[in-house]
Every structure is written in C-alpha cells, then in structure tokens.
Structure 1
Amino acid sequence: MVPMTVEELTAVLAWAARRPAEWRAVTAGLRAALPAPENAATDPLAPAGTAPDDPVFLRELAALATARAREAPALAEFLAALRHRMPGPAEEAPDARHRTNVIQGSSAVTGHVIQAGTIHGGIHLQPVAGPRPVPRQLLGTPPHFTDRTADLAALDALRAGHLPAGPLLIAVTGPAGVGKTTLVSRWLRGLSEHYPDGQLYADLGGHAPGGPVRPGEVLGQFIRAFGVAQVPAETAEQAALWRTLTAGLRIAVMLDNAVSAAQVRTLLPGAADSLVVAAGRSRLTGLGVDGAAFHQLGTLDASAAVELFGRRVGGGRVAREPVAARELVALCAGLPLAVCVAAARMAARPRQTVAALAGAMTQETGRLEALHLGGEHAVRSALEESYRCLPPATARAYRLLALPPLTVLTGPVAAAACAVPPPEAERLLDELAEAHLLEDLDPDDPTGAGRFRFHDLVRLHAAQCAEREETAAVRERAARRVVEWYLATATAARALLSPAHRVLRRDYEEPVTPLAFADADAALRWLDTGRGPLMAAVRTAAGHAWHALTWQLVDSLQPLFLRLRPYDLWIEAHRTGLDAARRSGQPEGVSRMLTTGGSGLYNAGQLDESITWFDEALTDARGAADRRAEAQALHGLGQAHRLAGRLPQAESLFAEALRLREAIGHDRGAALSRLCLGDVALATGRPLQARSLLARARADLLAVPDPYDAARALAYLGRAHAHEGIGDHPTAERLLGEALEEFRGTGSLHWQARVLEMLGQTAEDRGDAAAARDRYDASLSRYASLSPSDARRLKERIRNLASPAGEP
C-alpha cells in the first residue's frame, strides 16, 4: 500500500474542490477516517470563513491528513487509494510548455479546443473526461411477480430505521427457490432514485459447481463499473480502492448467493449513504458484528401461489380447476421456483389439465424422495415433470449444459458443450429459458447475444439427470469440449496479439470452431473480460487430469499476462500448468511453463523462485541438447539477475543467450537479447554501445514483425539519447513519445507507465522539475494499479525532486 504525499493529496483536494459532488465524496471519506472533532470549531473540514478551494486551507488539510495517517491505518488506507479519484494528468507532447489561454466573451466551449499560432507536426488529443459512469446492473424482475407485500414493507421499515453511521447492510435469507433474488431485485429497482450514483449486482456463487467466486473477481467487476480501467492486483488494495471510489456516493449493491459473512464483508463500500443487500440460504448471522439487519423470507401462502400459477398459465385454466390448482401449488410447497417451473411446463401444453399435472407431480414426488435436500423435493418434482416433457435434443442440452463449471452460458459455449452448430445452440438455450429451466440475463438485449444461467437447484437437477442418463465418457467429453473451445479461442487471440511468438502443439480431441476476432483489440478485450471463465477452464482441466490441455491453455493466455499483468493469475496458472506439463510427459510444455512462469515470478518481484525455475529450465534444455530452449532459459536468468541488480552476471547471461540464438538463426530471440544487452549497457554508463545494440534490436524486431518488443527497444533507445554522455534531450523525448504511442496501441499499461517514468527522468535530466513531476505522476497513476514495488519507487523519485520555483 503506497501512501500519498502532501503534494499529491493537495492536488487531489484541489481537483475535488472544483467539483461539488467529488468534494462531498472525498470529504465524507476523510471525515469518516479522521479522528472525530471535539466540536465544530475544531473540525478541520469546516474552517470558518474559508472557501473549499483556498490553497492554504487545502494544503493544511492535506498535511494534517498525511500526518495523522501514520497512526491511523484506516486513514492511511483511504489516502493510499485516493489517487484513483482524480483522473490521471493528460500526457502532453514532451516539449510542451505551460501557458494560460483565455477565451473571452459569452462563448460556451465543450470538447477539445486548440488555441495556437503556428502548429508544426501532428496534434494528439486525449479523450475528454466524461462524467463518472453510473452502473445499472440489477437483474430485471418478471412481470408475474406476485404478493410479497409484507416482505417489501418489512424491508422498507429496515431502511427507514437506519442511522447513517455506515452503509445499511441487510441480509435476506431463506431456502433455495423461495424467491430471494426476485424479491431483492424488485425492491432495489424501486429505490433507484434514492441511490442515483449506481446499482450493482454480483453473484457470489455460493453454490456454484466451481465454488464461491473469489473476492478479487467481484471487486474488479465493481471497480471497472465505475470507469477505472486499472484495477490493483492485490485484494487488499482492490478493497481499499473500492471504498475510496464509493466514499460519499449513494449506491445500492446486491450480493446474491452469499455463503458467509467474510465473503460479504470484503465487498462493503465506503459510503455511509449506501445500501447493501446480501441474499443467501444460510442465515449469515456473522454479519451482525457489521451492524446488519436481517429478514427471513418465507414461502408463498396458498392463495398467492395459486395467483402466481394463474398468471403464468392463464386465469381461465385455474378457474376451471380450483381444487386441482390448490393441490398442485401445495405440491410446490409454496416455493416460487417450483410454481414457475410447473407453470412453464403446463403453459407449453395448452390441452393438459391442472389435475393431470398434479397427478404426475405426485408420482414424481414419491420417486424423488431419496434425492431431496432440505425439503426442496417440491422443486425437484416440478423440474422432473418439466424435464420429462422436453424434446430429446433440448433435454440433452439441459443435461450437458450443467457440466461445465461456468456461471454464465452463451451460444458458443453451449455449441461446444452440445456439439451442435451455434444457431442450434442458441435455439436450445431459448427453449430452456422458455421452460423456466434457464434464466435469461439479457432479455432486452437488442443484439440477441443471449447470456443465460441456471438457478443452482436447477443445475443440480440437470447434473443428476446427466449422471443418471449419460455415460461417464459422454459427460467428460461435453466438459472437455468447452475447455477445448476456450483453448482454441484463446489461441486465436494469441495469434493476433503475439504473431511472432512460436506456437506450440495443441491437442484437440474433436474439431473446434473458435470465435473470430475483428482485430487485436477485440482479442485482448475478450481475454480481459473472460479472466474468470478462462481460469475456471484451467482449473477444470487440471481437476480432470487433462494434463496436456491444462498447460496448453495456460500457454494460450500469455498475452493476457504480459499486457495486463494480473500477477496472481499469472503465477497460479503457471504453477498449475507446470505440474500438468510434467505429468503429461511433454518436455516442450515443461520448458514453456518454466520460462513464461519464471517471467511472471520475476515481474511479480519473486526473484529467488524465478531463478530456481530458470535454472531447472536450463538443466533440462542442456540435458536434451535443445539449444533454443537453453538460450531461452539463459535469457530468463539474465532478466532475473538484471532485476536483482546483478548487472555483470546479467550481461554475461544475455551475451551467452545471444551467441546461441545467432548460431541457430533465431532472429527474434537474438534481437531480444541485444535489447537486454543495450539496457545493461545503458545502466552501466555506456550510452554509445547501448544505442548501437538498441537500434539493431529495434530494426530486427520491426522486421519480424514484433511491434510490442520493438516499442520496448525504442523506449530504451530514447533513454540512451538522454544519457549524460550524449545529452540529446529533444531526440530522446521524441523517441519516448513515439514509444508511448506504440504502447497505447498495444494496450500495455505496464509499459506506458515505464515510458512515462523514462520521460520524467529525461525531463529531470534537463532540469525541468515541473515537467518531470507531471510525467512521474502520470506513470504513478498506472503503476499504482499494477505493481506496488514500482509505485513505491516512483513515490521516492517524486519525493527526491527539487521543488519547482515558487513552491514551498
């Protein structure tokens, strides 16, 4: 956790003071974190007669907060994450000068404005910062919502009695299928005007086949919903940023399928005026220490259940058989899920009588007694009758779709699981949703790209049907087809994002049709948004002992790891992949996992373990007389020693790797070794040698082509021109500016941060502390969400800067 300096905090406060909503949010967070004032006269946030944007007041407030943060962990945490509140400074052209421009008259100006004399060269405009996104994630509620008047009134009473000393937290609990999700969604949607800054939803997966969702996945989802692209890697920093982003906001959050108080506690926002509702089967009594209120949701009474049934099948059918209708809803035990499943079954058969359906369910109830869990046999009975009447292809899809460990089902995933063309898969999903066996998460999506999910009880029933009616081989093939589809699609994404990288074997048991991406940006977006399902696929492959498939899937995710740097997933995936590669008996897989996993370890700062991995890769490569793998291991060892500050050892390893790569004609590998030798030459005061090595590396990498690594060479080349022995700062800043644009094109936030740091160093070299500070601040805004160690280094650089003229 990197704390803010007085200067940083003053800048954030000055920015917030010009925006009333932001000022309220920031000061609300400070007021909650600072020790309570003894009286109004001692309140540091309410100085008498002082304007909120008074510079002296802001600096004094910043100094007070940073001083007290040393003894107040909560305040230190708040300040460390507060930097994300203010958009990062615009990166102007490296040779820009600060000027004041005035537009007079009654002009209204929006968007980008350029006021200039003669302009030489191109103009690069940063996007205009728009308003903060307002997420609207709550699930829709069905038109046949029935009764629950007393429950809605009870929730209203809990809200009305809340004293805003912290977020209002309500736990809504009850048995599976009782309608918790529908009730809470209905209630929260009716309160949208009271929570205008956003309504968020997350399924915590308490009863999902892969286990509960990790807190970091939910926090990342919430943080990105508020427009923050750079999410910290560590869960503690994610939680701190989440509390900072929401301080002073009025938001409503629904946490569905919660299983424990600890799971909910990590996700609580930082706003006293916010509302959080956790829904789950267990009573969640541990939330009592967090001040939670509790509401137990019961089943529907008989008349409400009959009304719900009639709304789904038509009131006339119920009116003709009132006794049978009451018998049927009694079999459903007052559970809305059971009633809706039974009603969907009957609505699909207009000539079936209510009595016939009740009779069928009575027979099934007796047969399913051995299956029931916690009195939920009513739902199972309704499901069994609906399932029995499905067309064969739809029933098969119902069984097979329960097998992949995914919370959200889409057309391509269903096509893979069922081994049918995508249009057929989409039809099957629609039919299952029509039968109330799947929930449509996007019923109003105009694109028609549907997303569906099982209720956990329905999934359990579908999986039991698969266990009962499909062989073990069929069940395994269905799950494997989904994992292979993820492998094929991730491999297609990798081919677009890293076309120069050597592709290793892929072992598919059946033909696979991956997604087609329009361009590299679309491929990277898919990898980014699909982190959860992709890691679930890795874990599933490992759990089934599909060893080759496991390491190959990890290998296909390299662009995600390199470009976006999710270090926790990078390391977890490679530890899993390395074990699988060893078990598969495929040496090329072991070598790839050791080297790309070693890279993840040294990038995450775990240098000793990284060296162990590369040493093992080197031993294996020499034993197998694989000179390409040997060079790769030597290069990785050089990187680890370079980061450890052992420059002579690193240079020797890079030089040995270069000799091997030149000998076997590995042009791209040789260029990468020259790049690293240029970096070491630069670090040891040999700028002319560095320029020669880096210029050659840049040209060779462009020829491959490998634009990502060519941009790295360009960045180091820019710094070589700024070196004291050369001092060509205009050329240095031009080259670094070009490298920054190239890294924006690749989507690499890490290297954007590195280049901005280099620009700051170059400005500092020529004595421009103000420009250096701007570049370092821009770099820090990226590093803060990627690498705490790099962020700490930038903080130290900023502290050591000479104060700009006129600044105390």
Structure 2
Amino acid sequence: MDPVTVPQLTAALIGADRRRTARPALVEIVRAAAAPGDLLSRALASWETSPGDPFRAAELAELLAARAASRPGLTEELRLWVLAATPRADDSVHANTLGGTARISGAVLQSRDIHGGVHIHSAEPAGPPRGPVPRQLLPVPADFGGRDSDLRALEALRRETADGPAPAPLRVVISGPAGVGKTTLASHWLTGLAGNCPDGQLYTDLRGHSPTGGPAAPGEVLGQFLRAFGSTHIPSGLDEQAALWRSVTAGLRIAVLLDNALSAAQVRPLLPGSASSLVVVTSRRRLTGLVVDGAVFHHVEPLRPEAAVALLTSRVGAHRVGQEPEAARRVAALCAGLPLAVSVAAARMAARPRQSLTVMAAALDRDAGSRLEPLRAEGSGAVRTALDESYRTLPADVARAYRCLGTQPVTVFDSTVAAAACGTSRAEAERVLDDLVEVNLLEDLTPDPVGGGERYRFHDLIRAHADDLAGREDSPADRDAAVRRVVDVYLAAATAAEALLTPSHRTLRRDYVFPPAHPVTFADSRAALQWLDGERLHLMAVLRAAAGREWHDAVWQLTDAMWPLFLRLRPYDLWTEAHGIGLDSACRAGDRTAEKRMLTSGGAGLRNDGRHDEAAEWFGRSLELARQDGDVRAEAQALHGLGQSLRLAGHLERAIPHLTRALELREEIGYRRGAALTRLVLGDIAQARGRPHEAVTLLTAAREALLAESDAYDAARALAFLGRAHARAHGDPAAAEELLHRAHEEFLAAGSVHWQARVLEFLGQTAAEGGDTEKAGDHYERSLALYAPVSSQDARRLAARLQSLHPGGPSRRNR
C-alpha cells in the first residue's frame, strides 16, 4: 500500500479550513495516533490554534506521514480523509462527505453524503510532475577494497537508527586524513543503499580545503539541490532557501553526500527535512559540532599494509607484485596506507611496465622530505611524494597542462575550458586530459548533461599540487594568461546565450584579451538557458577570480552577459552579488555607460528581492549619471526602475511622475518595447488607484506592443493585469476569467511558477468580488500551494485572503 505523501497531506490540511466536517475528523484520527505530549500531539495543537497557516500544516503533515509509515491502519484512515478534505474545482455547491472504509481516487461520481462500508478502489491522483530521480553519487573504482570493517561499522550505525522507536534521520560524519579514501568509502556505501533511497541520492563537493575559490557557500549548494528536485524559484536569503529545502524534502527517502566539509556551520543549512533521510558528511575534521544535530561519527584510518598491497596489485598486476613482493610492501608503506597515494604511485608504475617496483620504492623514499609542507601537516606528505614522482615523468606538454589547469577558478571543466587554459586546440586538450586521467592525476566524470561532452575534476590535494607547481615553475604573466583565456571563454559563451535569450539587452561592448578559438555555441534559446543554469556557479567563480585580478572590464561585461540568467531564473543572491562586484569594477574602470547599466540591472535585482529602498537608491544614482551625460535612454531606464520600485513599496503617487516621464522619453526615442513596459506598470498603478477603465486602455496597448516586439513573457504579464482590470471596469467576471486563464496558460508554457501563483490569486480576487467565495477559496489555495514553498510573505498574504472570505461570520480558517 503506497503511503499518503506529505504534499498531499499539506494540501488537504490547508483545504480543511474550507469544510466544516474535515477538521474534526482529522483531529479524531490524530488524537488516536498520538501520545500525550509527543511531537505529533503538539503539532496538532499548533495547527488547531493557527488555522490557515501553511507552515503549521506542513509541520503536521510531515509528522503524520512519518507516523503512518509504521501504521498501515493510520495510512488508510489518512487516505480516506485526504480524499474528503482536498479541495476540488467542481465541489463549490456542496462538500461531499463519506463515512465507512473507502479508498477512492480518480474519476468518481458522488451525490451528496454517503455513509456505510463503502469500498471503491482506483488509481491515486498523480502528484506534481518531476524530472528524473537524481542519482548524483560519484562512480566507485572497480577495485575498491580493504574497507570491510568500515562498511560494517557504517551499516551498524544505520541499523541502530532504523531499529529505533520512531523514524529518525541518520547523519553520519566520516572523518580522516586527506587522501585516505573518505569520499570513495561514502560513495560505495551509499551506492549499495540505492534501493533504500527511491527519491534520489545527491552529491556536492563543499570544497572545504580548495586551494582556490574557497569553501562552497551553503546557499550555492541549496540552489543546486533544489533545482535537482524541480524547484525553479529559489529564494535569495539563506534562511528561506533552507526552509524551502526542508519543505521540498519532507517525507522523501533520500541520501545526501556532503563531501569535503569545512565546518558544522557549512553543513547545518543543508540538512533535509525528512525523517527518512540519510546524510553523509566527509571531512578532514571531526566536526563534533554536528552532535547537536544528531550526527554520529566514524573515523577512517589508513589502509592496513595487506590492503594497500592488494590495491597496488589490482593496479599494476599480480605478476609484477609477485616478482618483487618486498618492494611492493615498501611502496605501500611509503604511501602511508593512503589510497590516493597508492593509486597515484600505481598509475605511475603502470605507465612504465619495464620499471621495477624497487626503483619506484627508491624514488618515493628519496622524496619523502619534499615540499608543500602545509599539506604534509594534514597527513598528506605521502600523497605529495607520489605526486612529485608522477609529475616528474610527465611529458612537457602534459606537465604544462597540469599546471595551467591547477590555476583555474572552476572546479569542473570540459575540453573547451581545458583548451582555453592551455592555449591549445580541443583535440590537443582532449589528448592531454586523457593522459592525466591515465596517470590518476585527473578524475573523469559523467558526461555533461547539457553539452554531452566529458567533464573532469581534480582531487583537491592534486589541484593544490598543480597550483603550487605553477607558482614555482611558471611566470606570473603565464599564470594570468591561463586564467584570462578561461575568463574570455566564459564571457563569450555567456554573451552568446544573452544574444539568444535577451537580444534587446545585448548592447554593450565586449573586450577579449584572448578571443576564444573554440567559442561555445547553442542550438537554441532553451540550450542557452540550460547552459547558464548549469554553469551559474562556475560563472560566479570566474567573475570573482577576474575581480581578484582587477580585470575590471571583464568583470562588468561578464556580469552584464549573465543578465538572462538573473532575469529568467531569479537567483537573487547571485544577482545582487554579481552586480555589486560589477558596479565596483565599472567605477574603477571609469566606464560611465557600464556603471549606469550595473546600477539599473542591479537595482532590478534588489527590487525583485523586496529591497525597495536600496533599489530606489541604485536607480537614483543611475538617473543622476544619465542626466549628467545627456543619455536619454539610460535616463528613461532609471526613471522606469525608480517608479516601479516606488510602486512596489506602496508609494503610488510618488511613482507616477517618474513613470510618466519615462514613457515620454521612451516614445521620443522610439523605444517601443520600453514604452510598453512602462505602460504596463502605469496600468497596474491605475488599477490600484481605482481607475479600471484607464488601466484597461494602458494594459491593452502594452499587450499589443509587447506581442509585436515578440516579448511573450511580458505580454503575458500585461494580459494578467488586463484580466483584473477588465473585471473591475466592465463587471464581467466570466470575460475577466477567460483572460486570466489565458495568461495562466502562457505562464505555464513559460515555466514561471511565481506568475502562475499570481494569476491564480487574481482569479481568486475576481471570484470573491463576484460573490463566489467557494471558487475564490479554491483559487487562493492553489496559489498558496505554489507560494508556500518559495515565499513566506506571499503565503501569508494568501492565508489572509482565505481568512477574509467570511468577514461577517465564522472565518474559513476557523471552520
């Protein structure tokens, strides 16, 4: 019997406020299942005293799902209750009720109330569509071994949690020295548990000891995880991101591998919200601070001598080891039992089949006191020794590629980036990449999901080794050139995506020190947006690296080229950070045009993030510069942004003069799309001021002009506002609803979750104004279900609208 899901329960709990019979029935079910004072009983009391609160509903739903997982009878009761309580579009006249035992879903006809032993079985309604189940764990070497005792210990920890009195998340910290094989051990263990994680297995490298770029920020990782589960609207604040992550994962059976963590604070926001989740954290530190989060700990020791020899044998062959067993044991000992060191040394020997193991042992022994002392202090001196010996035997071109790649700000790269870093052809880059993989200096990852090509990455110790060698053997000019070539590749690719996705924005110059010999191209706008989405973190890493080297023109130009990423996907944290960096660089470069662009584009990010006062300040600075320069188009842009910021802050009368002047200027210079966007905002303000006829005129003109300019997204926005204005101007709810439904379909096609929710809210307002409170409630609840995971502010507004549907009697929230 399939369980009732947390999203199903949450939707039903929200809908229970609309049905007099639904709430008491659930109270009886929960009280029978709860123990006095336990979490479930407390969540029930909280939900009863805060009706209509979506967050209380989500909390109760998660606890109910967890309790039902071990009680089939409770699952059946909840299934029946969900079917009776979930709002439907066609039950506004009468809320049907069912008594008895039933399991009903799908196409079912019911006429008013039914009581008795009713048994009707059908397929359950499908949940929201999701992409493929994420399976992100790194591949495990075929010769993995020597870790049986570690695997038994980890399994014992898992069974201890699984056998507890109630479901509880398992959080395991695997610690040990660098190169000891923590990641491989964790990946092997979790790969074997795939059947226990039907909802997915996630992986991220937290870069706790990365030589460049620094540790990953929790918000960076949360965005990656949320997108893996289909979230398209990621909040900007870390607290909201973490709350959304817990909501999305509530009730899911998933595993998460947080690799290479630096601190408990870095890990804590990334913990999922499901009692059925399994989180494994690997770190060189013990991270005892996670004990307060219920973590258990396992320390990984170096391989025993016999296991290290077995790993060496699997890599170089039993025949060679059998001929020189003592030398093999000496090599294993000099590698200190660290699998990474053994693997690097073995790859070196495998590449030279005629070289004896005795020679290799002597070389390792000779270099035991080699450099890179900071890594030696972390227990990786054996790795350094093995790396030095492997590097010494590389051909000159492969050695140079190793150093060039070690200096880069990106942690994962393909042959295009490698070719740029090395200043070679792609074919040459692919050859040296294969050589580096062959000697275990580079990891070959899964193919790129967007481009389809192979991707590569360094272990962080190997990357540190390569970067250190570059600092010793290459000139500063050569190192800067290797990084600048990669910056220019990313700038060119982002600019190509910008030209496809937002051609009207693609107006400022691009300067390349090294014009890419192999520019990235895109088949269509969809592929361009996918690339921007998948590369967003690398784009930010490249941006920060360019800023650190004071390549000011490259910084503001890359920020400008990333505009469609910010506009379409709304990563507000990256949007505001990038424009802060870009604005500083534009000022330092003394480029007034770039400074104005950074101010208006960055102001839009602040405005959309709800930081209206800061946005108004940025637009005001841009306006001042535009007037000083006599730049009419920039002046109109700043006025529009300033007016829109004031409107969103609730200052309607102050907004109108700015927008009116922006419209005049845009019409004077023939900027039709810009004029249409300003009319759209003025139409919205006219509605808010109670002037629906004026709003209809403005919005109709805006819609027609935006369609003529092939701006489908903003044309849909105009249609949504037009539907609301039409209802008020003509008193025709049916015609208004038709317009709003069309707008909803256009936003579904565009994939805009925020505007889908907004249009549903408009539909609810239209129904409420027409006196149909039941239909209004249905629309508000559907809107709330979209808003709740991504915007607490919007969710509270929708909850208040539900409360207001019955101001003269018992509220919907208290039924």
TM-score, length basis structure 1: 0.84
One-letter amino acid matched to 1:324: A
SS state of the match for residue 144, structure 2?
A: coil
One-letter amino acid matched to 1:171: V
Aligned to 2:312: 309
| Rounded Cα–Cα distance in structure 2 between residues aligned with 1:36 and 1:726 | 53
Q: 1:176 aligns with which of 173, 178, 181?
A: 178
1:680-759 aligned within 5 A: 680-723=685-728, 725-759=729-763
| Rounded Cα–Cα distance in structure 2 between residues aligned with 1:617 and 1:90 | 50
Q: Is the deviation greater in 548-557 or in 414-423? A: 414-423
SS state of the match for residue 368, structure 1?
A: coil
1:602-617 aligned within 5 A: 602-617=607-622
| Rounded Cα–Cα distance in structure 2 between residues aligned with 1:671 and 1:422 | 45
SS state of the match for residue 617, structure 1?
A: helix
Q: 1:37 aligns with which of 35, 46, 70?
A: 35
SS state of the match for residue 376, structure 1?
A: helix
Q: 2:802 aligns with which of 798, 801, 808?
A: 798
Q: Deviations over 1:493-530 (max 9, x none)?
A: 22222123342111111112443222222222222233
> What is the deviation of 1:14?
12
One-letter amino acid matched to 1:259: L
One-letter amino acid matched to 2:35: P
Q: Does 1:630 align with 2:645?
A: no
Aligned to 2:151: 152
One-letter amino acid matched to 1:139: L
Are the structure 2 counterparts of residues 544 and 135 from structure 1 closer, same or farther at C-alpha, using a change threshold of 3 Å?
Answer: same
Aligned to 2:273: 270
Aligned to 2:411: 407
**Structure 1 regions of 5+ residues with no counterpart?**
16-23, 46-60, 102-108, 114-125
Q: Is the deviation greater in 789-798 or in 642-651? A: 789-798
Aligned to 1:768: 772
Q: Does 1:559 align with 2:550?
A: no
Aligned to 1:484: 488
One-letter amino acid matched to 1:553: L
Are the structure 2 counterparts of residues 588 and 92 from structure 1 closer, same or farther at C-alpha, using a change threshold of 3 Å?
Answer: farther
Q: Would the aligned equivalents of 1:84 and 1:781 in 2 still touch at CA under 8 Å? A: no
Q: Deviations over 1:505-560 (max 9, x none)?
A: 11111112443222222222222233222222222222221111112222122222
Aligned to 1:497: 501
| Rounded Cα–Cα distance in structure 1 between residues aligned with 2:385 and 2:627 | 63
Q: Does 1:242 align with 2:245?
A: yes
Aligned to 1:139: 138
One-letter amino acid matched to 1:261: A
Are the structure 2 counterparts of residues 340 and 579 from structure 1 closer, same or farther at C-alpha, using a change threshold of 3 Å?
Answer: same
Q: 2:228 aligns with which of 201, 225, 231?
A: 225
Q: Would the aligned equivalents of 2:717 and 2:743 in 1 still touch at CA under 8 Å? A: yes
Q: Would the aligned equivalents of 2:768 and 2:776 in 1 still touch at CA under 8 Å? A: yes
> What is the deviation of 1:98?
9.3
Q: Deviations over 1:655-688 (max 9, x none)?
A: 1111222222222222222222222222223223
One-letter amino acid matched to 1:270: G
| Rounded Cα–Cα distance in structure 2 between residues aligned with 1:687 and 1:161 | 65
Are the structure 2 counterparts of residues 767 and 445 from structure 1 closer, same or farther at C-alpha, using a change threshold of 3 Å?
Answer: closer
One-letter amino acid matched to 1:146: G
Are the structure 2 counterparts of residues 714 and 242 from structure 1 closer, same or farther at C-alpha, using a change threshold of 3 Å?
Answer: closer
| Rounded Cα–Cα distance in structure 1 between residues aligned with 2:338 and 2:804 | 66
Corresponding pairs, count: 753
> What is the deviation of 1:291?
3.6
Q: Does 1:544 align with 2:543?
A: no
> What is the deviation of 1:152?
2.2
| Rounded Cα–Cα distance in structure 2 between residues aligned with 1:74 and 1:7 | 9
| Rounded Cα–Cα distance in structure 2 between residues aligned with 1:668 and 1:74 | 40
Aligned to 1:167: 169
One-letter amino acid matched to 2:134: P
1:657-696 aligned within 5 A: 657-696=662-701
Identical counterparts, % of pairs: 55
Q: Deviations over 1:215-248 (max 9, x none)?
A: 2233333334344444444322333333344444
Q: Would the aligned equivalents of 1:200 and 1:252 in 2 still touch at CA under 8 Å? A: yes
SS state of the match for residue 265, structure 1?
A: helix
| Rounded Cα–Cα distance in structure 1 between residues aligned with 2:417 and 2:435 | 16
| Rounded Cα–Cα distance in structure 1 between residues aligned with 2:558 and 2:88 | 40
SS state of the match for residue 293, structure 1?
A: strand
RMSD: 4.1
Aligned to 1:434: 438
Q: Deviations over 1:158-192 (max 9, x none)?
A: 33444466323222211100111111222222333
Q: Would the aligned equivalents of 1:217 and 1:532 in 2 still touch at CA under 8 Å? A: yes
Q: 2:13 aligns with which of 6, 10, 20?
A: 10
Are the structure 2 counterparts of residues 421 and 718 from structure 1 closer, same or farther at C-alpha, using a change threshold of 3 Å?
Answer: farther
> What is the deviation of 1:129?
4.3
Are the structure 2 counterparts of residues 584 and 84 from structure 1 closer, same or farther at C-alpha, using a change threshold of 3 Å?
Answer: farther
One-letter amino acid matched to 1:719: R
Are the structure 2 counterparts of residues 539 and 781 from structure 1 closer, same or farther at C-alpha, using a change threshold of 3 Å?
Answer: farther
| Rounded Cα–Cα distance in structure 2 between residues aligned with 1:689 and 1:482 | 52
| Rounded Cα–Cα distance in structure 2 between residues aligned with 1:371 and 1:245 | 41
> What is the deviation of 1:143?
1.1
Aligned to 2:187: 185
> What is the deviation of 1:639?
0.6
One-letter amino acid matched to 1:641: L
Are the structure 2 counterparts of residues 366 and 567 from structure 1 closer, same or farther at C-alpha, using a change threshold of 3 Å?
Answer: closer
Q: Would the aligned equivalents of 2:14 and 2:57 in 1 still touch at CA under 8 Å? A: no
| Rounded Cα–Cα distance in structure 1 between residues aligned with 2:392 and 2:452 | 28
Aligned to 1:777: 781
> What is the deviation of 1:292?
2.8
Q: Would the aligned equivalents of 2:11 and 2:86 in 1 still touch at CA under 8 Å? A: no
One-letter amino acid matched to 2:675: A
| Rounded Cα–Cα distance in structure 1 between residues aligned with 2:320 and 2:209 | 36
Q: Would the aligned equivalents of 2:40 and 2:60 in 1 still touch at CA under 8 Å? A: no
Aligned to 1:57: none
> What is the deviation of 1:650?
1.4
Aligned to 1:381: 385
> What is the deviation of 1:386?
1.4
One-letter amino acid matched to 2:680: L
Q: Does 1:368 align with 2:371?
A: yes
Aligned to 2:75: none
Q: Does 1:646 align with 2:651?
A: yes
Q: Would the aligned equivalents of 1:324 and 1:358 in 2 still touch at CA under 8 Å? A: yes
Q: Deviations over 1:124-151 (max 9, x none)?
A: xx99845896433322211111212222
Q: Is the deviation greater in 428-437 or in 752-761? A: 752-761
Q: Would the aligned equivalents of 1:497 and 1:520 in 2 still touch at CA under 8 Å? A: yes
Are the structure 2 counterparts of residues 261 and 322 from structure 1 closer, same or farther at C-alpha, using a change threshold of 3 Å?
Answer: same
Q: Is the deviation greater in 280-289 or in 456-465? A: 280-289
**Structure 2 regions of 5+ residues with no counterpart?**
1-6, 19-25, 67-81, 97-103, 109-124
| Rounded Cα–Cα distance in structure 2 between residues aligned with 1:449 and 1:468 | 32
Q: Would the aligned equivalents of 1:81 and 1:241 in 2 still touch at CA under 8 Å? A: no
One-letter amino acid matched to 1:188: L
TM-score, length basis structure 2: 0.83
One-letter amino acid matched to 1:10: L
Q: Does 1:510 align with 2:514?
A: yes
| Rounded Cα–Cα distance in structure 1 between residues aligned with 2:727 and 2:410 | 51
Are the structure 2 counterparts of residues 289 and 179 from structure 1 closer, same or farther at C-alpha, using a change threshold of 3 Å?
Answer: same
Q: Would the aligned equivalents of 1:611 and 1:637 in 2 still touch at CA under 8 Å? A: yes
SS state of the match for residue 202, structure 1?
A: strand
SS state of the match for residue 511, structure 1?
A: coil
Are the structure 2 counterparts of residues 195 and 731 from structure 1 closer, same or farther at C-alpha, using a change threshold of 3 Å?
Answer: closer
Q: 1:655 aligns with which of 660, 668, 674?
A: 660
Q: Would the aligned equivalents of 2:406 and 2:463 in 1 still touch at CA under 8 Å? A: yes
Q: Would the aligned equivalents of 1:10 and 1:62 in 2 still touch at CA under 8 Å? A: no
Aligned to 1:459: 463
Q: Deviations over 1:196-218 (max 9, x none)?
A: 44333222211122122122233
Aligned to 2:327: 324
| Rounded Cα–Cα distance in structure 1 between residues aligned with 2:355 and 2:566 | 56
Are the structure 2 counterparts of residues 424 and 445 from structure 1 closer, same or farther at C-alpha, using a change threshold of 3 Å?
Answer: farther
Aligned to 1:78: 59
